[in-house]
Amino acid sequence: MRNTQPTSATQSWTTTMSSLGTAYARVRAQTRELCRPLAVEDYVVQSMPDASPVKWHLAHTTWFFEQFLLKPGLADYRVFDASYDYLFNSYYDAVGPRHPRAERGLLTRPTVEEIVAYREHVDEHMQRLINRAGRDAQLDARIELGLNHEQQHQELMLTDLKHAFAANPLRPAYRAGAPRGLGSPTPLLWQHYPGGLQEIGATADGFCYDNELPRHRVHLEPYELASRLVTNGEFLEFVRSGGYATPSLWLADGFAYAQAQGWSRPLYWSTDLDALFTLAGMGALDPAEPVCHVSYYEADAYARWAGARLPTEAEWESAARLHALDGNLLESGALQPVAAPGRAALEPGPQQFFGDVWEWTSSAYSAYPGYRPAAGALGEYNGKFMVNQIVLRGGSCATPRSHLRASYRNFFYPQQRWQFMGLRLARSAAQ
Amino acid sequence: MRNTQPTSATQSWTTTMSSLGTAYARVRAQTRELCRPLAVEDYVVQSMPDASPVKWHLAHTTWFFEQFLLKPGLADYRVFDASYDYLFNSYYDAVGPRHPRAERGLLTRPTVEEIVAYREHVDEHMQRLINRAGRDAQLDARIELGLNHEQQHQELMLTDLKHAFAANPLRPAYRAGAPRGLGSPTPLLWQHYPGGLQEIGATADGFCYDNELPRHRVHLEPYELASRLVTNGEFLEFVRSGGYATPSLWLADGFAYAQAQGWSRPLYWSTDLDALFTLAGMGALDPAEPVCHVSYYEADAYARWAGARLPTEAEWESAARLHALDGNLLESGALQPVAAPGRAALEPGPQQFFGDVWEWTSSAYSAYPGYRPAAGALGEYNGKFMVNQIVLRGGSCATPRSHLRASYRNFFYPQQRWQFMGLRLARSAAQ
Amino acid sequence: MRNTQPTSATQSWTTTMSSLGTAYARVRAQTRELCRPLAVEDYVVQSMPDASPVKWHLAHTTWFFEQFLLKPGLADYRVFDASYDYLFNSYYDAVGPRHPRAERGLLTRPTVEEIVAYREHVDEHMQRLINRAGRDAQLDARIELGLNHEQQHQELMLTDLKHAFAANPLRPAYRAGAPRGLGSPTPLLWQHYPGGLQEIGATADGFCYDNELPRHRVHLEPYELASRLVTNGEFLEFVRSGGYATPSLWLADGFAYAQAQGWSRPLYWSTDLDALFTLAGMGALDPAEPVCHVSYYEADAYARWAGARLPTEAEWESAARLHALDGNLLESGALQPVAAPGRAALEPGPQQFFGDVWEWTSSAYSAYPGYRPAAGALGEYNGKFMVNQIVLRGGSCATPRSHLRASYRNFFYPQQRWQFMGLRLARSAAQ
Amino acid sequence: MRNTQPTSATQSWTTTMSSLGTAYARVRAQTRELCRPLAVEDYVVQSMPDASPVKWHLAHTTWFFEQFLLKPGLADYRVFDASYDYLFNSYYDAVGPRHPRAERGLLTRPTVEEIVAYREHVDEHMQRLINRAGRDAQLDARIELGLNHEQQHQELMLTDLKHAFAANPLRPAYRAGAPRGLGSPTPLLWQHYPGGLQEIGATADGFCYDNELPRHRVHLEPYELASRLVTNGEFLEFVRSGGYATPSLWLADGFAYAQAQGWSRPLYWSTDLDALFTLAGMGALDPAEPVCHVSYYEADAYARWAGARLPTEAEWESAARLHALDGNLLESGALQPVAAPGRAALEPGPQQFFGDVWEWTSSAYSAYPGYRPAAGALGEYNGKFMVNQIVLRGGSCATPRSHLRASYRNFFYPQQRWQFMGLRLARSAAQ
């Protein structure tokens, strides 16, 4: 799960925040801040097995610190509630049995108030642990892992809430949004990349998950990437031209799945194709905004329809690392992808590599050559999911800035689409 | 849904309460009273499609008055929220489309607070309607129906809550219970009934549902009924003797269902057969208490194992109407069946006809000869469910006293067991 | 399974056939005769779990004689193949484990030829048993049961074959049919029955299944029955008037089931409502023919649409026993219901009580008062199915004449419709 | 689907067979030969949706020639039966609608005899087409594709038959097998490969499928491969040490799937782990034989348990192309993997690259850089399956010799195991 150089692991955090204690406090406060607009009832529901209740996210991220830091690291620590190991373990078989994932939404107790108390209890002890003399690098690395873990769940809380609100015929808003434009999209340009022997994977200068390692060489043929994300307007053309009913555009599994589900448009689009559901409630469909909430199957079909393809993750990373890590991330407050800004003649380069939407690649999620999962229960963090899933890159409008990097590998099943997911086109270059 | 003699319909209520307005206030207050022990989170969940969230019960019973009384009856009435017709219609096709039953637990909004406001809004207008000059008998009958409807949902709220709490590994208690005894059961005696041409169905002296009409004649062969309900201790013998693994004791559908579900004991019994879950939390299994939370399939298998059978609903009603409507009902506060009291030599008669547990009969739920459902949407109240279900009789520890009568026909699917359901043995008399 | 008067049990057979040996030979030959039009491939498939392959029917009926007659009755009998107990036991738990019902169509072996050899082996030994001196009445009764059992399967073979052929886009014909008329239906008249205390159930003068006993009294209110079956033309009106899309006409379970299945017409009707699939292949929809292959749900909805209801089984039997047991049965060779003949002015009575289609009643299949299943494994023949099913009466165009009587109770689940099933209307008489 | 150099495409066939006409005759005869041991009943069944009836394989491979060769290529060709396009199209959306895959086993008609006639009809016309003057290279390439297609189905016929026979409690044998040894396995050695920039994909000297193109460069880190396949004996150790119950050895999806299916051993192994089902019936479990009928999930878990991993397809191909294409293929007649022969001191090299079992790689099935599917319907042959599947390499004991090459990419879902599937271990080399 993490870099093999633990001494350097906290560098990214210590660079941007004055200390690990501050970092801890900021990330945990960010989680609470995201809950501010919620009614108590909003914390309870689970709108599908893939999603979790907000209450569960709050407790699970806290349990992570209790289980992996406080229990092994604080000699006199007493667990807040012994039953929470069972209730709030997500998938760590090495820790023990756990409440079935699909039944997380049945738990009315512990109440939100009790979970807030749990968080405060753990926070207090975590600060003690952090401030303790003799803290070691491995402990620091685990704390950093726990903070990254919590940031992942910040994004999931928002996407799970969005899904739950969308399941409600009242279409409640999480919070009012900034006015969204209805601009015209920036033209799509093709950017050439020469390929050849490239290095991908995490570099040694900061935190990373174990699945980004080891950094290694890949050989790439010359390729081209679109200068921006595919837009709602472009995807609408695909929809209107009958894309969802044309099997030749789809992977066989994708077409079968889309038909079985009755899909005819991206998730959260209205039936009449002129509105979509956002965390600010229903809004107009902006043709210039990046298309969002499409599955891999839909992204792949769109690319084929457009005479292109999706990039591999190596192609994407080789291109993205040339750009500053900047964009419409959680900190922008938009909580919705936004249109690529119009470009001056002097800025012909690619846009939107980071933020807005996670970009589907064509790469199945698998181990890098020489990959070694972390020892113990934390080895379950990433490695055991390396089948049946597809890599996405670049972060979204719900990803915290400090959580992201060019080598970051997100992964979801090809049929999933409730995350902020979209796509950028690629094509092989003429040789 | 109701008696054809509307003028007499409210008689039962006016006998026990001073007026319909008072009755209305009391029933509605009873519902709120039942919610007193709950946290906000407890109102939201739906632990299976058969159950509903407490919040939904509160709103649906209110919607019933709004839809069937205030809208047609109060000229200037303005609906509280137009979207509630969709959200809180249960199954009235004639009223319009509705939120899917299995998704009632996904609705975090409207909040509990909003639904309480809805109840107050409707209560205020209902009192206006009740107090209005010129109220007619049909209106009164509908109000009485609405109150009976709400009482049905009071029982469902408790059984749905029990199911949700039981799904939580923390096994929370709804409220502390009175100490339960661990006595020895009263001996089971057989009571003879001569049968012959009998009349069953509702009599003209009070409210009834349409499915209790018309009162009509049936011919019964001589039969015998057990003097009390089957107890936990007796059922435990069935379990321990391998009853759940012996197909010859079961209906074929019942055995297949029990095997597919992995049933090996009544719902809410602990694995080691010495404890059970109640609304007061986990407690010891009292061998003298009536067995509860068994399906029709289990009740039928037990009866066959015991060399007996279940009574028909006509047999049950013919016997029960000879007894006073009294027993362990909602008003006792036990919220759990209790052991039949030991009998003095002077009281040799049958016990427990009313309250404790609904008693499974062997009768499929069907129309009485000459049955006519009510006109309009309210005709959907009972008639359209007359297939695949089995009649239960006698009320339970969660049934309000004023809601019950000897002719009352409750009905559930043969595999359902989350209601307070048990059984009394019957056998055909030697002729 | 059978009458308690074993000495009289074979009377019906000896009346129509010279001896039990002859009866045995005739029934067994009839089964083979029904297979004559088949290709080897036709014996193998199982088009749904409710159906069985022809090969399985041939073997199971033979196994019945081997298991219940030859093994206990013929001292030196050696079983043909020990594995057949597992393969061809249908549902007798007391006999032992068995091949899963839904996987009967996976068995390519034993081949048809081997099963024919099995039949011959058993036939030879059965004739020895029948001819043996000292045969007793109980044995005779079991043989008669075995023959009735085989006749039941003759009908099932035809309906299962019809279902399998209908699943084939080539729509093969079982055999060429007689030309079918396209006449106009006889007018529907209402026949009055006074009701009162009636006796129903099997009389003592011949074979019957145990579920027809004991004969007993029921009280009936006055009622009326339609003089003939509901026709295709009448049902077509229901279809065209939107009957399948009108929930108020349906039982709630029925509407939900029909919607989930996408039903919009009877089984085997063509999409454009002008043709239907028969055992002679596709043919024109004759408006005068009785409607066939409707489920209980559809029959019930049609009756409600028509302002009537279905008869109870007691009403049906009380009326039918007044008529001669005659009609369009297996012996007619039509294998399809036929229009009621036009009536002369002198024949105003009801028609089609026997043959054409099994008539759905409104009665759930349950035990008669005092019912006692047979002892041992044969007690599983009927009793364990007495839940969730509905009684049908009167036989069909695929029922052998000698198999039927007025007290005969057939039973199927309310959603099943692959048997020759139809309906006759009933209504309560004005009093 | 094929090489872009059509003139060279038939070279491999013309090298080994005197002409395309002879090749055609030989492949088609091979198919019939494989059917020789079957009873008519064996042609009909479909034991799971993944499998197809033999009858369907016979017809579909014939339809392929009719659809893609005779219809476009033979001006006066008349189709044998117009309905066969619907019945025997497998998955070509561009050709038109088709019979649902899961219902192939419901078709009793056309009979085997009719399908044999269909084959003869098409064979006759194909020979006319082949012998015709003016035949072009594109036509030849399509014929060769059709023959390779038929060879694929020869293997599927055998694995589908094996599955169907295994579903029969009688466990019939396809044909008697040669005596199988119970030897001790050859020791497992590790062979080093230096990696670096390698070329993989089909070379220009013969037929290949489109998914093997274009040949391209990949960069490999140094790696090691086991000198032989994993054996039954080795896998038995994994089973006995609790491998199936240890989640830490498995991919999360794999463990969940195995648990849901109740897997505790490879497909076709007996419960007591000492026998297995083969095409020759039940036989002893030979510890030296390659383990077979394991899914990707099981292969991956075994490799992790053994402290190794599966090879990538590039690693496998780079190693395998160094070896002669020889091994236990269809022509050996074994129809079962056999133990690796003991090795003389002079033969230290790797064994079993070709034949015995398809070897699971760790590579998700995806497009090679620059991949272009064939134009038209035949473009559906491979490309639309490039998601959710895993590549297997090397052929099996049911693969015809002339069908295989080092660049051949087979692919199945990670949970499938009814093919002859096994594994070879790999590990990354110390650098």
Compute the average pLDDT of residues A102-119: 97
β B421-422/B358-364 pair status: parallel
Distance in angstroms (rounded) separating the CA atoms of residues A249 and A302: 8
Give me the pLDDT at residue A172, please: 97
Contact C108 D169 (CB under 8 A): no
Question: Residue A248: which of D94, D364, D414 has the nearest Cβ?
Answer: D94
Q: pLDDT tens digits for B263-283?
A: 999 999 999 999 999 999 999
With beta carbons less than 8 A apart as the criterion, state whether B228 and B188 touch.
yes
Contact C43 D42 (CB under 8 A): no
**Which residues contact residue D248 at a Cβ distance below 8 angstroms, ignoring those fewer than 6 apart?**
A93, A94, A379, A380
Domain B190-428, classified CATH 3.40.50.300, yes or no: no
**Residue D93 near chain A (CB below 8 Å):** yes
Distance in angstroms (rounded) separating the CA atoms of residues D397 and D419: 10
Smallest Cα distance from D64 to chain A, Å: 19
Confidence of residue C350 (pLDDT cuts 50, 70, 90): confident
Compute the average pLDDT of residues C161-174: 97
Distance in angstroms (rounded) separating the CA atoms of residues C384 and B252: 5
Chain C residue with minimum CA distance to D102: C47
Give me the pLDDT at residue D183, please: 67
Q: Is residue C14's pLDDT more than 70?
A: no
What are phi and psi for residue B36, nearest 5 degrees? -55, -40
Contact B108 A172 (CB under 8 A): yes
How many CB pairs below 8 A link A and D?
77
Contact D388 A216 (CB under 8 A): no
Give me the pLDDT at residue A430, please: 78
**Full-model pTM:** 0.95
Confidence of residue B341 (pLDDT cuts 50, 70, 90): confident
Chains that touch B (3 or more CB pairs under 8 A): A, C
With beta carbons less than 8 A apart as the criterion, state whether C371 and C214 touch.
yes
**Residue D250 near chain A (CB below 8 Å):** yes
Sign of CA dihedral C18, C21, C27, C28: negative
Distance in angstroms (rounded) separating the CA atoms of residues D304 and D298: 10
The listed range with the strongest mean pLDDT (B73-77, B346-350, D258-262) is: D258-262
Confidence of residue A394 (pLDDT cuts 50, 70, 90): very high
Span between the terminal Cα atoms of chain A, in Å: 39
**Residue B292 near chain A (CB below 8 Å):** no
Q: pLDDT tens digits for B146-178?
A: 999 999 999 999 999 999 999 999 999 999 987
Distance in angstroms (rounded) separating the CA atoms of residues B266 and B168: 18
Confidence of residue C342 (pLDDT cuts 50, 70, 90): confident
Distance in angstroms (rounded) separating the CA atoms of residues B392 and B405: 13
Question: Residue C106: which of D83, D103, D167 has the nearest Cβ?
Answer: D167
Confidence of residue A14 (pLDDT cuts 50, 70, 90): very low
Average the pLDDT over each of A248-262, B203-217, C236-250 and give the range with the smallest value: B203-217
Compute the average pLDDT of residues A407-420: 98
Question: Residue B366: which of C221, C248, C362 has the nearest Cβ?
Answer: C362
**Which residues contact residue B366 at a Cβ distance below 8 angstroms, ignoring those fewer than 6 apart?**
B386, B387, C362, C363, C364
Contact C107 D168 (CB under 8 A): yes
Q: pLDDT tens digits for D272-285?
A: 999 999 999 999 99
Please report, as a single letter, which amino acid is at residue B154. Q
**Which residues contact residue B429 at a Cβ distance below 8 angstroms, ignoring those fewer than 6 apart?**
B192, B193, B195, B221, B222, B223, B224
Smallest Cα distance from A265 to chain D, Å: 21
With pLDDT > 70 as the criterion, what percentage of chain C qualifies? 93
Please report, as a single letter, which amino acid is at residue C35. C
Query: How many CA atoms are closer than 13 Å to the CA of B53, on its beta-carbon side?
Result: 33
**Residue A86 near chain B (CB below 8 Å):** yes
Compute the average pLDDT of residues C48-62: 98
Confidence of residue D13 (pLDDT cuts 50, 70, 90): low
**CA–CA distance from A116 to each of A54, A79, B99 (Å)?**
12, 15, 33
Contact D42 C108 (CB under 8 A): yes
* CA neighbor of A393 nearest in space, from A233, A212, A269: A212
Chain A residue with minimum CA distance to B51: A106
Chains that touch A (3 or more CB pairs under 8 A): B, D
* Selected residue with higher pLDDT from A341 and C116: C116
* Selected residue with higher pLDDT from D181 and A244: A244
Question: Residue D93: which of A217, A248, A300 has the nearest Cβ?
Answer: A248
**Residue D220 near chain A (CB below 8 Å):** yes
Q: CA B389 from chain center: how many Å?
A: 14
Give me the pLDDT at residue D9, please: 38
DSSP per-residue codes, C288-350: TSBP-S--HHHHHHHHHHTT-BPPPHHHHHHHHTTS-S-EE-GGG---S--PPPP--TT--S-
**CA–CA distance from D248 to each of A375, B218, B388, D417 (Å)?**
11, 66, 46, 22
Contact A39 B111 (CB under 8 A): yes
Written in H, E and C, the secondary structure of B316-369 is HHHHHCCCCCCEECHHHCCCCCCCCCCCCCCCCCCCCCEECCEEEEEEECCCCC
DSSP per-residue codes, C355-376: ESSEEEEEEE--PPTT--PPSS
**Residue C98 near chain D (CB below 8 Å):** no
Compute the average pLDDT of residues C115-124: 98
**Residue A91 near chain D (CB below 8 Å):** yes
Average the pLDDT over each of A286-290, B344-348, C173-177 and give the range with the smallest value: B344-348
Domain A17-167, classified CATH 3.30.70, yes or no: no
**Residue D39 near chain C (CB below 8 Å):** yes
Confidence of residue B182 (pLDDT cuts 50, 70, 90): low
H or E element in which residue A254 lies: helix A252-261
**Residue C249 near chain B (CB below 8 Å):** no
Q: CA A353 from chain center: how many Å?
A: 14
With pLDDT > 90 as the criterion, what percentage of chain B qualifies? 86
Chain D residue with minimum CA distance to A381: D252
Contact B99 A42 (CB under 8 A): no
Q: pLDDT tens digits for D52-66?
A: 999 999 999 999 999
- Residues in D touching A250 (Cβ below 8 Å): 384
- Residues in D touching A388 (Cβ below 8 Å): 253, 388, 414
Could you report the predicted ipTM of this complex, rounded to two decimals? 0.94
Q: Where are the domains of chain C?
A: 17-167, 190-428
User: Between chain D and chain B, are at least 3 CB pairs below 8 A?
Assistant: no
Give me the pLDDT at residue D2, please: 36
Distance in angstroms (rounded) separating the CA atoms of residues B300 and B302: 5
**Average pLDDT of chain B, as a whole number:** 92
Q: Is residue C15's pLDDT more than 50?
A: no
Chain C residue with minimum CA distance to B250: C384
Distance in angstroms (rounded) separating the CA atoms of residues D336 and D357: 9
Q: Find the angle CA(A37)-CA(A40)-CA(A42) to the nearest 5 degrees.
A: 70
Please report, as a single letter, which amino acid is at residue B129. L
Give me the pLDDT at residue A4, please: 35
**Residue B429 near chain C (CB below 8 Å):** no
Chain C residue with minimum CA distance to D42: C108
**Residue C53 near chain D (CB below 8 Å):** no
User: Between chain A and chain C, are at least 3 CB pairs below 8 A?
Assistant: no
Chain B residue with minimum CA distance to A44: B41
Q: pLDDT tens digits for B188-213?
A: 999 999 999 999 999 988 899 999 99
Contact B106 A170 (CB under 8 A): no
Smallest Cα distance from B109 to chain A, Å: 7
3-state secondary structure of A204: coil
Question: Residue C364: which of B91, B296, B364 has the nearest Cβ?
Answer: B364
Q: pLDDT tens digits for A354-373?
A: 999 999 999 999 999 999 99
Contact D197 A218 (CB under 8 A): no
How many CB pairs below 8 A link B and C?
77
Confidence of residue D375 (pLDDT cuts 50, 70, 90): confident
Contact C99 D169 (CB under 8 A): yes
